[in-house]
Amino acid sequence: MEKLTVITGVGVPLRRTNVDTDQIIPAEFLKRVTKTGFEDALFQRWRQEPDFILNREPYSTGTVLVAGTDFGTGSSREHAVWALRDYGFQAVIAPRFADIFRGNSGKQGLLTAVVPEDVVERIWGEIEENPGTEVTVDLESRTVTCGSVTSPFEIDDYTRWRLMEGLDDIGLTLRHENAITEFETHRESWRPTTLPVR
C-alpha cells in the first residue's frame, strides 16, 4: 500500500443519504475473481441516468467524493472500495459511514473522512457553485479544506497511522505470531473444528 499524507482533487457532490454498496457496485459485477478493473462498475445503475453527477463535467474527473450520511451500508463487498479506487477516488467525505465499508476502505488505502453534516452541506455548496473546485484532505493535520470551508475530520489513530505509513495488516499481525500460537494451545476441545466427523 502506498503511503498517504495529503489528497487534493476535484470534489464530487453526491447528494444522497444511505448509499448502499449495492448502488456503489451491483451484484452482477461481484462474479469476477480479480481485484482490479472495476471502474466501469462504479454506480453502474445511476450512471445510466444522464444527469447523474459523474456524467457531468468536470465532476467525472473527481477524486474526492462528498456524500450524505450512512455511506456504504449493506453488503460487505470490498468490491465497492475497489470500484471507487479503480475509478480514481482517493477519499470519501461523509457524516457517517457503515462499519464494514469503512474497515474495507482502510485496508485499500481509500481515505474515509467523517465530518459533521453542516460541513458536508457547506462543501456541497462550494463544489456545486464552482464545479471543479478542489477538496484537500490532509491526514497529517486531520483537516478537510474546500474553498472557504476548513474543518477537522475524524479518523481513528490506528487507521491514520497505517495509511500514512502504507502498512500491510497481515504483516503487522504476524509480529504477534507467538502470542497466537500460545493462545491456540489453550483452546478448549469443545470448540468447533470443521474436519469431517464420524
Partner 1 sequence: MNAATPRTLAEKVWDNHLVVKGENGEPDLIYIDLHLVHEVTSPQAFDGLRMAGRPVRRPDLTIATEDHNTPTLNITAQIADPTSRTQIETLRTNAKEFGIRLHSLGDIEQGIVHVVGPQLGLTMPGITVVCGDSHTSTHGAFGAMAFGIGTSEVEHVLATQTLPLKPFKTMAITVNGRLRHGVTAKDIILAVIAKIGTGGGQGYVLEYRGSAIRDLSMEGRMTICNMSIEAGARAGMVAPDQTTFDYLKGRPHAPQGADWDEAVAYWSTLATDDGATFDAEVVIDGDALEPFVTWGTNPGQGVPLSETVPNPADIADPNERANAERALEYMGLEAGTPLKEIRVDQVFMGSCTNSRIEDLRAFAGVIKGKKLADGVKLMVVPGSARVRLEAEAEGIDKIVTDFGGEWRFAGCSMCLGMNPDQLQPGERCASTSNRNFEGRQGKGGRTHLVSPLVAAATAIRGTLSSPWDVE
Task: Determine the 3-state secondary structure of 51 from DSSP.
Answer: coil
Q: Draw the binding track, 25-64, toward partner 1 (x: CB under 8 A; -: no contact).
A: -xxx-xxxxxx---------x-------------------
Span of 6-14, 53-61, 100-108, 135-143 interacting with partner 1 by CB under 8 A:
100-108
Q: Tell me: does residue 137 bind partner 1 (CB under 8 A).
A: no
Give dist(CA 196, CA 8) in Å, integer: 53
Footprint of partner 1 on 147-166 (CB under 8 A): 156-158, 161
Nearest in space to 69 (alpha carbons), one of 30, 124, 9, 29: 124
Nearest distance in Å: CB 156, partner 1: 7
Q: How many CA atoms lie within 13 A of 136 on its CB side?
A: 13
Pick 110 or 134: Cβ nearer partner 1:
110
The vertex-169 CA angle with 168 and 170, nearest 5°, equals 100
| Cis bond upstream, residue 58 (ω within 30) | yes
Helix (H) or strand (E) holding 185: helix 177-185
Footprint of partner 1 on 62-81 (CB under 8 A): 68-70, 73-79, 81
Q: Name the residues that contact partner 1, by CB under 8 A.
A: 15-18, 20, 22-23, 26-28, 30-35, 45, 68-70, 73-79, 81, 96, 98-100, 103-104, 107-108, 156-158, 161, 169-170, 172-174, 176-177, 179-180, 183-184, 188-198
